Structure formats: C-alpha cells, structure tokens
Amino acid sequence: MNTLGKKREYRSCLALKIILSIALGALTPLSAEAIYAGSSALGSPYVVQLSTPTGLCSGTLVQPQILVTAAHCLIKSGSTLNPGDIKVYEPGVNTQMNNWEAKGVSIFSPPNFFNNTTRIEPQDIAFVVLDKKLGSLSVIKLANFNLSQSLISNGATFTAYGYGRISANTQTSIPQKFMIKPTTQKRFQSFIGFERTYINYINSENGSTCPGDSGGPTIAEYNGSVYLVSIHSGGRGPCSKDPQDVDDWGSTGTIAGEFENLYWEALNYLKLNIPNPISNPTILISSGIATLSWQTSGPESNWIKYLVLNSSQKELCNTSSNNCKVDLVPGQNSFTIIATSGLLKSEPINFNYQLVIPPVSEVNLVSDGLQGKLSWSTSPNTNNLISSYIVEDFQGNEFCRTVLLSCVVPLTIGTNNFRIYPLWGTSRGTPGQITINLQNALLPNIEFIKIRQNEIEVKLGTISSYGNSRPESVSINIFEGSSDNPTCTLVLLSESCKIRHQPQNVTYYISLISNLGRTNRDIVFEWYGSSYTQTILASRLRILTLNKDLTNLLSKNPGYKQEIVELLNSIPALSEDLVIDDLLQKQLLELESLVSALREIVITKPRKVTLLCVKGNNIKSVTSRDPKCPLGYKKRRG
C-alpha cells in the first residue's frame, strides 16, 4: 500500500527510540541546531520544552498558564502522568542555561486517547494547567479545521517549532524553527472518522520535524494575526534511526482548534481554582510591631492560604488569615502577597512600605556628681515607629536599652559624649547626641608654708573654680607620703593645716575631694627631716647666742645701752610661733653682723658713764667705761 492509504507507523521515542513519531527525546541536550535544517528560535514566545520522568517534549502556551502538547508525551496505555511531574521551561530559552520554571497542576486530554502501541493515534493533544504563568503572550488564537483550510488556501505562512533532535543521535537545548508546508490530508485507516482533527505536512531537505519536537506548535501568520494551527504528533524524517525513513519525509499534526472543549475545561479549572488576588495591602504599626494586612475578595475558604514573601522571596507567612507580622528595616520594604489554593496561586500583589525611624530631639543631660540623667523627646504621634532606644558613648559602649525617654549614665571628669538611637527592632535611626564637659573644682594655690619649731603650717588660698562640683561638697586633704589616711583635712579654707615634724624625709601631697570625686595628688612640699631639724636647732642656737652676746656686751658697756637694747629687741623671740625660714636666716645674719660691728665700736670707742652713788646723805659720782659704786655706796635711783 502507498503511504496515503495505510496507517503511518509510529513508535514511542522513549521505549523504542522513535523511528516514525516525533516523540519525547531522552538524550542529553547538546548545543546544536534542532529541527533538521532549521534556524534558531531562541527567544520565541511560541515554543517551550517540557520534561517528564520519561523524557523531553515540546509544547506551546495558549495562554500564560495553559500549555498544549501532544497527549502521547503524557499518556501511556491509558495511564496519565502525575501532573506535578511535568516541568516546563520559559518559552524560547536555552535549557542548558536555564532551570524549569513551572509545574503541571491538571491535565485535560481526550477521554479515549490510549497510546499503547508504537503507532500514532488520533486526538493526540493535551492541555496542561500550570502552577504559574510563563511567557509574555497573553492568549494565542486556536485554528480549527475550517480555519486551517482557509489559512492554507489564502497562502498563510506556516512555521514549525520544537526542541527535538537534529539527527538520529543529536539533541539540542536551543529551540529551532523551519517553514513547513501543509499537504493533502493522508487517509490513514485508523484515522477514519477523525479527519477534522489532524493535518499533514511535507518535510524535505529544507526542514523537518524530529523526535523531541512532539507537542511543539505549527504557527500560521496571516493578515497580521497569529494562529496555533496544530501540535506535532508524528512523522518520517532524517532524524530517524530507521534507514527506511529516508524517503517520503512528512509529519502529522493534531489541529488544536478542534479541541476547544478541552481548552475551555482548562480555563474553567483555572477560574474555579485560582484564588482572587488580595487588595488594599496596608501596614499598621503598634508598640514597635508591624502588621501587614490586606482585603480579600470572593467567598472565604479555609483552603485558601496567603503567602507573604519579602524582597528576597523568603516566606514570612503562610496563613489563612488576612494579616502577617513582618520585620521592617529603615528605608524601602518590599513584600509580595499571593493567595494560593494549594497548587494554584493568584496574581502576586507587590506592596512597598517606606520606613523612616523618627529621630530623637531635645536631648538634655542633668549631672549629679559622676552620674547623669539623659532625657530626650520624639515628634508627636511617632512612638509607634520606635520600638526602643539605645544609649551609647561615641566609642560604642552601651549604657541603656530602654523604651523610656530617659537613661541614667555614668560620667567621668572631662568630655562625655552620648548618642541616643531610636530603634525599630535591631535597626537604628538617626541618633540625637549631646556632649558635656565635666570639671571638678580646681585645687587652691598654696598661700604659704611655715616651718616652726615643732610643726609645719600650710595655708591655702581660695578656690578659683568649683567647676561642676557642689561647693559644699569640697574638702582638701593633705597626705603624708603614700598613706591613704590624710594627715590634715580642710573644709573651711579660712583655716590652715598644722603638721607635726617628722624625723625622716617625707613628701606631702594635696588632693581635692568633691561630689565629682578626688583629683590627682599634687606635691605640696618636700620635708627633709634631718636637714630641717639641724636648721631649726641652728637657728635656736644663733638666737640664744645673740641674746647672750648682747647681754654680756651691755653689762660691760652701759654707755652703749641704747644701741644694745635696740639690737636685743630686734632678736626674734624663741617661741612655738617662730617661723624658721630663709627670712629668719637673713634676719639673724644681719643681727650677727650688727652685733659684731657694735662690739668693734665699743672696743675702739668706749663710752664713760657717770654713776651717782649714795651712802646716807653722802653722794659720790663715779665716771668710767664701766663705773661701779665704792664700797658701802649704792647706785642712786632715778
């Protein structure tokens, strides 16, 4: 029989490595041209590749969520694949460079399609509802038998697409296309009664469909419109491994428009099972918690869930309610809300929310000693946008994490810097800041230090500045060496410190204490015990010697009484109040000099003195340098 009067024999590409049918290809895709003698269809919106557990096929999207392909790609011996095992790529992509994007949800095929032989069967078509939309085309028109014949007679251009082989052993990952020519319908015996459901094409050296192109589309373009005429079901061609297939190349396609009932079933399935998208998303913030909520439409149903995704497509919520608690960060926050009924999802609704954490203002610090109370404020009606506050110094040391508008902080002498950050969760807003220079009272100057016979007296001047200390809290301590116990404490600076002598060498220190703490110790003076003791003893001896020398000089030279008495009166008195210092040494040196000079004068220029002596009524006058009354006479009074 000739090929027009008998059934064409087709074999499953998966079980017997198709000889006559353009079926599922199971070979590893290669970067080569597919569809024999075709050209690249990379980027075409009309063709997709689908993968199942049994191999690869081609197909097309009649709308973004409905795929049409060959039924023999999905059904074997009347058993239909699990829809979820169908993986579909985006249209026109290099499948080596891309991952599959959608899965099948439901399959709609002719109820009497069985596919239990290697021969092509009529009604080889299936519509598959996908779990998501693919491609950029909205809807493609389906051509039925009458429209197909009209397109042929009007000279429309027919183009075949597919991801099939380019030879018996070579498959591709890049879709291919070629101009295909419809021919007179072949009367296959097994197709009697199905003449309106298929179309035949001439394949030649100018191009041919191959195994793996099964389910791929033949597209007709006419008068500015695009039509899906048929999907590839089987044929003879150069890609077959059977040498008998080198002649009479041709292919058969199943006319898509004759199965609009299946298309409408798929559409109705989508309509009934795709949830309505949500509307009016909003974010409500209360007590630092952000709740994303939305409105729903259509009947409420427990089987509808809502997915909330962040900008990284991380799932935040999978809930049957219409709200979701979300984490916000300062700046732009992007969310996607999708209603899902399980395998099918609504159109995603994108929602952006700009979070601006209000800054703090009116920062104030009140110090009390080495402790301060920071306080601040925020703009009215913004507390919901702040979950808490954190207080740090400029080095990042944390002092408070609080929901209050105040914080007690430690202070140090010198510069104190603080920043108050408003927080949203762990995110920080613009900080308010404050700087306070804390100064203790200044040590007073030493008014004088006096060394006396038995003690040292230290007198302080006034305090020039109390800084940030409370004046009533200020006291002055003088310490002996490294001792922590003060030798003297002054609260009233009108008083002075009196310190007993020490026989050993001692350094005396001064320190100020206030409510801001103690200042560093400063040296008051150095006490050299043996040296100062010798000076004190030497000074006492010099004073005693001056008194003795002048007294003796007076007793022998009364003619110089006036000068001698004046010098005697100039000698410092030996008392506990005597200050032994350089001034005293200078004074004693001058006195010693004067005494020496007077002694020289007395020797060189003695003065005679007349002394009146009386004995009863007798009066005698005695004149000499050192006159004395005769025996029996007494010095006259007055």
Please compute the mean of the pLDDT values over residues 72-98 and round it to a whole number: 96
pLDDT, tens digit (0-9, with 9 covering 90-100), for 338-392: 999 888 999 899 999 999 889 999 999 999 889 999 999 988 777 678 889 999 9
Q: How confident is the model at residue 302 (pLDDT cuts 50, 70, 90)?
A: low
pLDDT band at 194 (very low <50, low <70, confident <90, very high): very high
Q: Which residues contact 244 (CB under 8 A, 6 or more apart)?
A: none
Which pLDDT does position 10 carry in this prediction? 30
> Which of these, 91, 105, 177, lies nearest to 140 by C-alpha position?
91
The per-residue pLDDT for 20 is 32
Beta strands in 311-369 (DSSP E): 315-319, 323-326, 331-340, 349-355, 360-368
Tens of pLDDT, residue by residue over 309-347, are 999 999 999 999 999 999 888 889 999 999 998 889 998
Per residue in 508-517, pLDDT (tens digit) is 999 999 999 9
* Beta-sheet strands, E only, within 515-573: 517-518, 522-527
Identify the CA nearest to 343 among candidates 87, 103, 138. 103
pLDDT in tens, 565-599: 999 999 999 998 999 999 999 999 999 999 999 99
Alpha-carbon gap, residue 376 to 365, rounded angstroms: 9
Distance CA 603, CA 593 (A): 16
Sequence letter at residue 201: Y
Convert 538-562 to b/e letters by CB count within 10 Å (16 or more is b): ebeebbeebeebbeebbeebbbbee
Residue 220, pLDDT score:
97
Strand partners, 517: 514
Q: What is the mean pLDDT of the chain?
A: 88
What share of the chain has pLDDT > 70, as a percent?
92
As a whole number of angstroms, the distance between CA 47 and CA 628 comes to 157
Pair of tokens at residue 310: 């962040």
pLDDT tens digits along 412-456: 999 999 999 999 888 899 899 999 999 999 999 999 999 998 999
pLDDT band at 29 (very low <50, low <70, confident <90, very high): very low
Question: Which whole number is the average pLDDT over 387-406?
Answer: 94
pLDDT tier at 241 (50, 70, 90 boundaries)?
low
Q: Which residues contact 216 (CB under 8 A, 6 or more apart)?
A: 22, 47, 57, 58, 59, 60, 160, 161, 162, 163, 164, 209, 231, 232
Give the E-state strand segments of 356-431 in sequence order. 360-368, 371-378, 388-393, 398-402, 406-410, 414-424, 427-428
Q: How far apart are CA 58 and CA 29, in angstroms?
A: 13
* Total residue length of the chain: 638
CA distance linking residue 398 with residue 421, whole number of Å = 11
Q: Residue 169: what are its φ and ψ, rounded to 5°?
A: -125, 5
pLDDT digits (tens, 9 = 90+) for 453-507: 899 999 999 999 999 999 999 999 999 999 999 999 999 888 899 999 988 999 9
Whether the CB-CB separation of 70 and 125 falls below 8 Å is answered with: yes
